[in-house]
Chain A
Amino acid sequence: MKKFISLLILSILVIQCSSNRLRRPSGGNASAPGTGSIDENGNPIGAEDAKGSVNGSTAVNMPQAGRTLIWKRYRPLETGLMAGLGLTKDQLCTELGTNPCIDKVHLTVLGGNEPFLNGQYERAQTPTVLTAVAVDRVVLSSCGKRVELDRTAGAAAQIFKFFPLTAAKPSDDQVKQQATELYHRLLAREPEAAELDAIVKFAASSTAGDKIALSLCFAIGSSAENIFL
């Protein structure tokens, strides 16, 4: 009987050890947490908590809602701008009017790769030092296109419809309405009171409706919140 009990305990211990091993992260993300490795979304393996420290538990390799930032690479950025600003793909940024910004000119820094001509088999794991420049160009171009379309549309404007795009200066309420529309469309949330205050203050110092519209769109659309999920 003693032998049987000993064997039983030993078996339980073996099973526990095995199941612990099975619970460990595997595959490409099997590095130890906190070693500085980066997963395919550009997040450090060993997900960061809100304070930026690396959690050392064994379950941290999976993205965690509210804790892990995921880089929105070129395609999500593109579709987000198209949906948010009501644009078609061919209305998005082109350099010199002919060279697509996202699919060609700035593809690499926006998280893509060109394997055929350049032999770029790997994508950047995190935003590169030039990503922000490309984001600025793509967002500014998209916003500019929407401003142009809505100016032409006049009363039928789709997005920039809360104040005339030629007026000297819109009212604070108009600016808040417009900003709220942009937050809904680009960041899918309500603006904070502090954000609206900053926007109203900014608009007060500007002189033309179209410049205010474009600047709001650029500032919201190119903010880090629209680059990461």
Chain B
Amino acid sequence: MKIKDMNVDRRKLLKASGAGLLGAMTPAQILMGQTAGADKKYIFNICAFGGANIIDSFLAQPTGPAAYNNIVQPNGSAFKTVPPLQNSIQGAIPLGNGYDQAVFVQKHGVDMAVMTCEVSSVNHIIAARRAMSGDNINGGRTIAEAVAMAFGKSCPLPNLMLAGGGYALHGDDVTVPESAKAQAVTDPLMFAFATHGFKGVSNIVSSGDMQAARQLRQQLESVSRFQQQYAGSKVLDAYQSNRDRIVDALEKGDMATKLMMLDPATNNLAQYGFTLSADINTVRAKFPNMATDPFEARLALAFLAAKNGLSNAISVGPSNSPLVTAQGSPNAPIAFDWSHVDHRGAQNSMWSYILKGMDGLIDLLKATDVDGDPSKGKMWDRSLIYIATEFGRDKVATGGSGHHLNNGVVMISPMLQGNKVFGGIDAATGLGYGFDTATGAPATGTVMKEKHHYSAIAQAMGIPFENRINMGAMVKKP
């Protein structure tokens, strides 16, 4: 089939995948946004709700309006870090997990890039959406949708959404197929049940009986007046085609077992015919509190979904509820947005909370072969973590803080030029300035926008699109 026969114009083709690879791609690949000969790559969007302020972590300042007096800069690192502070929720509940930002930098700083930015909204929903869509630089396609389309061809549910708010919204690009849109997860611990249509439901019917019952359903639908009346309905077609495609893929892939994370000691798994994921001890070692901590449970599911080929573009956010135990709470109420009440306490505890989770996830990705095949290398070699956040916070050292456009974002990936800060902070104001996207040289008087984050991620992962900004300074050459 020739491209010109497919009733798509050049603009759509460019939007779908980018000009650079068109010559090597089939029309079907182009329409799906898949890069030629694309292997699987993974993106993990960590949705740091509430404004993860970069000058309270890797660009902390020793002077100025938001100065810290205890900054640590690990040897050879481009990044500064702030040690865990003695935080509390209103003086009553100890706050924080004690994880040191410096530990993260020492372990993963070599793959980490920090870029400053000045975003375009201080509204949570709008800003989060723009953090995911690059302020619509790619025709409204979110970065998760773009990665799902480019590298998730083999995944039944490429775009898995374990976050909320504006991060979870679909993009504006109406050409994104249903299969690449974010699939929201209600409860990560129970998600395995959502991947099988009948396992553990009835002991009357066997797998063969169910297949026969589904065939009967199909026969009844095909002769019904309802089906004839609504023949050609997009919503009906989508429902029925998804049903056929996804049910088959998930059940045959036994995702109900591969993703099962419930503790058999407190759940009757065996009674209902379920067994625990074979990787449960691996994920428990990194996320020991996943039975009670939704963020750990989401990270565990994110890893299992990627490892088992279910998804390749996964977004994870922390819970907005504090997990209060006898020892205190590791996370702040309403996450980073607790900064309104206690800026330092919220920022310090939430950075530790997020980074500890990232540390565990990266360790797992570094230890795991792609598709279980050692010849394909480790998952980490093909992964990018984007700590997305809506905006920054007021540049303050005490009290509460409001939302602020000026901030920076963190990306971690072997596909990036690691151990580098792109842009800089004006010590007098605490405000970030930009950089030359081709050379990486700091450029005072400029600021980077959401479209630069998006372009950097897309370029690092090898996703071309029409309006992509050349962020060559941030990306490792293939």
Interfacial residues, chain A to chain B (CB-CB below 8 A): 35-36, 42-44, 48, 50-53, 66, 69, 71, 93, 95-97, 99, 101, 104-109, 114-122, 124, 126-134, 136-137, 140-141, 144, 147, 192, 194-195, 198-199, 202, 205-206, 210-211, 214-216, 218-220, 222-225, 227-228
Contact = CB atoms under 8 A, between A and B. Distances in A.
Interface stretch (B23-31, B219-227, B446-454, B461-469): B219-227
- For the complex of A and B, 4 pairs with smallest distance between CB atoms: A119-B164, A52-B232, A136-B197, A132-B243
B252 interface: no
A118 B320 CA distance: 8
B233 A52 contact: yes
Contacts of A216: 216
Contact of B216 (A115, A136, A202): A202
Interface string B184-213: 111100100111111011101100011011
8 contacts: A69-B230, A96-B271, A104-B186, A121-B164, A129-B245, A132-B243, A222-B217, A223-B221
Interface of B: 49, 125, 157, 163-165, 168-169, 174, 178-179, 181, 183-187, 190, 193-198, 200-202, 204-205, 209-210, 212-214, 216-217, 219-221, 223-227, 229-240, 242-243, 245-247, 250, 262, 267-269, 271-272, 274, 294, 317, 319-321
B319 A117 contact: yes
Given A96-B267, A106-B186, A140 B235 contact: no
A32 to B, nearest CB: 13
Contacts of A124: 184
Contacts of B271: 96-97
Contacts of A66: 229
Contact of B179 (A53, A127, A129, A205): A129
A134 B194 contact: yes
Given A50-B231, A96-B272, A136-B247, A121 B165 contact: yes
Contacts of A117: 294, 319-321
B322 to A, nearest CB: 12
Contact of B226 (A115, A147, A198, A224): A224
A136 B321 CA distance: 32
A146 B341 CA distance: 53
Given A104-B186, A132-B247, A216-B216, 19 more contacts: A36-B174, A48-B232, A95-B193, A96-B200, A109-B194, A117-B321, A118-B184, A128-B184, A130-B157, A131-B242, A132-B239, A137-B196, A137-B201, A195-B223, A198-B220, A202-B216, A202-B219, A215-B216, A223-B224
B201 A140 contact: yes
A206 B220 CA distance: 17
Contacts of B209: 211, 215
A224 B240 contact: yes
A133 B235 contact: no
Contact of B232 (A50, A195, A202): A50
B386 to A, nearest CB: 18
Given A52-B231, A227-B239, A95 B200 contact: yes
Nearest to A48: B233
Contact of B235 (A36, A43, A118, A206): A43
Contacts of B319: 117
Contacts of A218: 213, 217
B125 A129 contact: no
Given A96-B272, A136-B247, A119 B229 contact: no
B209 to A, nearest CB: 6
Nearest to B232: A52
Identify which of B193, B201, B247 gathers the most chain A CB atoms within 10 Å of its CB: B201
Contacts of A205: 212
B96 to A, nearest CB: 21
Contacts of A137: 193, 196-198, 201
A118 to B, nearest CB: 5
B194 A105 contact: yes
A36 B229 CA distance: 21
A197 B186 CA distance: 40
B246 A130 contact: yes
B204 A147 contact: yes
Q: Which of A118, A122, A202 has the most CB of B within 10 A?
A: A118
